Structure 1
């Protein structure tokens, strides 16, 4: 599998920390160290790429790696 990593930001400063495109399958990730923070994924990203954004934090980062 070939995977490419990207960062996504709009002119309005909405952003997704890490985007992974693996053979045409796009996944978004927000990375927050504090597990108490809420995920605020931009609706425009989810609609444009038809995918959700996962939250990575200090409790689950090992599964992401």
Structure 2
């Protein structure tokens, strides 16, 4: 599994604006940018990060204790 992940050539980042909006984990792999918010509560609301979505043409997914294995 690790070998397969390394072949994706993914680079991890953190994103924050001057207004303190942030994305917990951003991954850029093979030209695709994906954002992830990590929360304990599966019912947590994702804040509107329109500037992130518009700038990078990427969606933000919620990762929580019930679906984190799918993320890994």
Pairwise TM-score range, normalised by the shorter structure: over 0.9
Asked whether the 8 Å contact 1:19–1:29 carries over to 2, the reply is yes
Task: Give the structure 1 partner of residue 4 of structure 2.
Answer: none
Structure 1 unpaired stretches of 5+: none
After TM superposition, list the pairs within 5 Å mapping 1:21-40 onto structure 2.
21-40=28-47
State the superposition RMSD in angstroms. 0.8
SS in 1 for 2:55: helix
Please state which structure has a larger fraction of its residues in helix: 2
Partner secondary structure for residue 69 of structure 2? helix
How many residue pairs get aligned? The number is: 65
The gaps in structure 2 that reach 5 residues or longer are 1-7
Shift of 1:36: 2.1
Larger-gyration structure (1/2): 2
Compare relative contact order (CA 8 Å, sep 6+) and give the higher one, 1 or 2.
Answer: 1
